[in-house]
């Protein structure tokens, strides 16, 4: 044991020397990573040795939300809501390891150390990113100056909204406490190929369509006899142009298709959970923070088949920033014959000010209309948020928000009938 301690002490200087704040073609885990989408494309011409960057995201929050619904006397006991009161929630943390294995080839390994959905450590993703192929020849170099290849178990690149969301303990990119009502985020076994030049970019990807591995056979149903598992195919393209730090405009479109899945996870692939704890959740046995981990969101239930389109636009003028999302998706489960539709609109307004943009104020409007399985008419959920925050350093953020969310057109017998929640959230965040 003493020999091991001695070896660790001897290796410590080398390990510290190999620890870097940043690596080429990777996103910063702190304030500098805000409004970064696809990783920057930097050509690596030097024979740098192995490098490693250890990072983390940590979030501790205080919640002061209240909720209510309207029930008739017959449904009052069945549709009563979970009792909540102001208090701290369990801290969430991510461990992020980025490594340069050889010039132009990077590896990312991210682990959820503790989240609402899984209190124990659980892998988020592990993938290779190739910006330079280890082959000799000028043709390969020319090709890879505009191309990037990613492969592994990873957060798929559908839409731009997932780059701005909270993800377990890593919430420093998000000016608000929570993500969209319709949260298109999942980690899947995938391969993506990128091409970018002069501000224009395009991407094509293929994945297994699930947030886990799966070798089970599909089971035919009376409504759907297709037992073939199809891969998910998705594409993305757009333009991102800027004039120094004065003006930036980015417009993108993404499309995702999975024709036959054993459990598609595009809208339920998050394994961290919502930051709004237990709002609009039913009371009853077996109700816990983990089993009801997605409070305040809506899952349309497109588990067998889904086609989704997301359009995004970012406009920045000095400190003013507008980010807009329009999304439409159609899909169904294996026990349905006809597809249903879900639509989402979201707009963020943010103003960053101070010497280095360390202060910000913002607001968000988010609206979802969806046809849910077994519901006679389309339901609607609307959310309005006001937020403010301050970066003490590029790694430390304190932010607060007031949120008001309302549920419309749910059936009278549903626990969300005329439901609403509102109140304040405070988050202390560290990212490095």
- At residue 19, does pLDDT exceed 90? no
Tokens, residue 309: 């389109």
Q: What DSSP string describes 290-305? A: TTTTTTT-------SE
- Exposure string (b/e) for 41-73, b if CB count within 10 Å is 16 or more? beebeeeeeebebebbbbbbbebebebebebee
Threshold 0.95, pTM exceeds: no
In a domain, 74, yes or no: yes
- At residue 67, does pLDDT exceed 60? yes
- At residue 13, does pLDDT exceed 50? no
- At residue 4, does pLDDT exceed 80? no
Distance of alpha carbon 234 from alpha carbon 21, whole angstroms: 33
In a domain, 225, yes or no: yes
Q: Which residue has better confidence, 143 or 91?
A: 91
In a domain, 95, yes or no: yes
Distance of alpha carbon 154 from alpha carbon 187, whole angstroms: 5
How many structural domains is the chain composed of? 1
Q: Could you give phi then psi for residue 157, rounded to 5 degrees?
A: -95, 70
- At residue 300, does pLDDT exceed 80? yes
For the stretch 99-118, pLDDT in tens is 999 888 999 999 999 999 98
Distance of alpha carbon 66 from alpha carbon 80, whole angstroms: 14
In a domain, 83, yes or no: yes
In a domain, 34, yes or no: yes
In a domain, 360, yes or no: no
Contact present, 81 and 283 (Cβ < 8 Å):
yes
Closest CA to 128 of 158, 98, 162, 156: 98
Q: What DSSP string describes 396-422? A: EEEEEEEEEEEEES--TTSTTTT-EEE
Min mean pLDDT across 37-51, 286-300, 395-409 is at 37-51
For the stretch 187-236, pLDDT in tens is 999 999 999 999 999 999 999 999 888 888 888 888 888 888 899 999 99
Closest CA to 19 of 113, 103, 99: 99
Domain that holds residue 72: 23-245+253-297+392-402+422-431
Q: What is the DSSP letter of 35?
A: T
Q: Is 246 helix (H, G, I), strand (E, B) or coil?
A: coil
In a domain, 141, yes or no: yes
What is the structure's pLDDT at 138? Answer: 85
Strand spans (E) along 3-146: 51-68, 87-88, 92-102, 105-114, 122-130
Q: What DSSP string describes 160-190? A: SGGGGS-BTTB-TT-SSSS--SS----EEEE
Q: Which residue has better confidence, 245 or 32?
A: 32
Handedness of CA 334, 336, 340, 346 (dihedral sign): negative
In a domain, 363, yes or no: no
Contact present, 401 and 383 (Cβ < 8 Å):
no
Tokens, residue 54: 């250890």
- At residue 132, does pLDDT exceed 60? yes
24 forms beta bridges with none
Report the pLDDT averaged over residues 126-134.
Answer: 93
């Amino acid at each position: 044991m003493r020999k091991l301690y001695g070896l660790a002490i001897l290796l410590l200087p080398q390990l510290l020397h190999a620890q870097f704040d940043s690596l080429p073609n990777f996103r910063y885990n702190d304030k500098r990573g805000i409004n970064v989408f696809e990783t920057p494309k930097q050509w690596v011409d030097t024979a740098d040795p192995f490098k490693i960057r250890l990072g983390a995201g940590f979030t501790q929050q205080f919640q002061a939300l209240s909720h209510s619904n309207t029930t008739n006397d017959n449904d009052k006991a069945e549709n009563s809501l979970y009792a909540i009161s102001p208090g701290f929630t369990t801290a969430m943390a991510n461990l992020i390891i980025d490594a340069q294995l050889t010039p132009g080839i990077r590896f990312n390994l991210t682990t959820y150390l503790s989240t609402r959905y899984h209190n124990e450590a659980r892998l988020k993703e592990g993938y290779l990113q190739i910006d330079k192929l280890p082959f000799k020849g000028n043709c390969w170099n020319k090709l890879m100056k505009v191309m990037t290849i990613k492969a592994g178990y990873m957060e798929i690149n559908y839409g731009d909204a997932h780059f701005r969301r909270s993800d377990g303990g890593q919430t420093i990119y998000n000016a608000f406490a929570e993500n969209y009502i319709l949260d298109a985020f999942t980690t899947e076994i995938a391969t993506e190929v990128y091409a970018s030049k002069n501000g224009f970019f395009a991407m094509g990807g293929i994945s297994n369509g699930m947030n886990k591995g799966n070798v089970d056979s599909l089971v035919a149903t009376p409504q759907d006899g297709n037992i073939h598992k199809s891969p998910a195919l998705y594409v993305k393209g757009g333009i991102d142009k800027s004039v120094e730090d004065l003006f930036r405009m980015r417009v993108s479109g993404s499309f995702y298709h999975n024709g036959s899945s054993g459990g598609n996870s595009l809208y339920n692939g998050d394994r961290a959970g919502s930051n709004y704890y237990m709002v609009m959740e039913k009371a009853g046995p077996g109700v816990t923070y983990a089993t009801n981990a997605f409070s305040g969101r809506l899952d349309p239930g497109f588990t067998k088949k889904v086609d989704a389109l997301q359009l995004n636009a970012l406009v920045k003028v000095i400190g003013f920033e507008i980010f807009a999302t329009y999304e439409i998706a159609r899909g169904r489960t294996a026990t349905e014959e006809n597809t249903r539709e879900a639509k989402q609109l979201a707009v963020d307004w943010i103003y960053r000010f101070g010497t280095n943009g360390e202060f910000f104020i913002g607001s968000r409007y988010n609206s979802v209309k969806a046809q849910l399985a077994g519901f006679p008419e389309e339901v609607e959920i609307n959310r309005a948020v006001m937020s403010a925050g301050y970066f003490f350093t590029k790694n430390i953020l304190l932010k607060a928000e007031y949120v008001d969310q309302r549920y419309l057109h749910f059936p009278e017998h549903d626990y969300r009938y005329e439901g609403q929640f509102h109140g304040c959230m405070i988050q202390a965040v560290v990212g490095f």
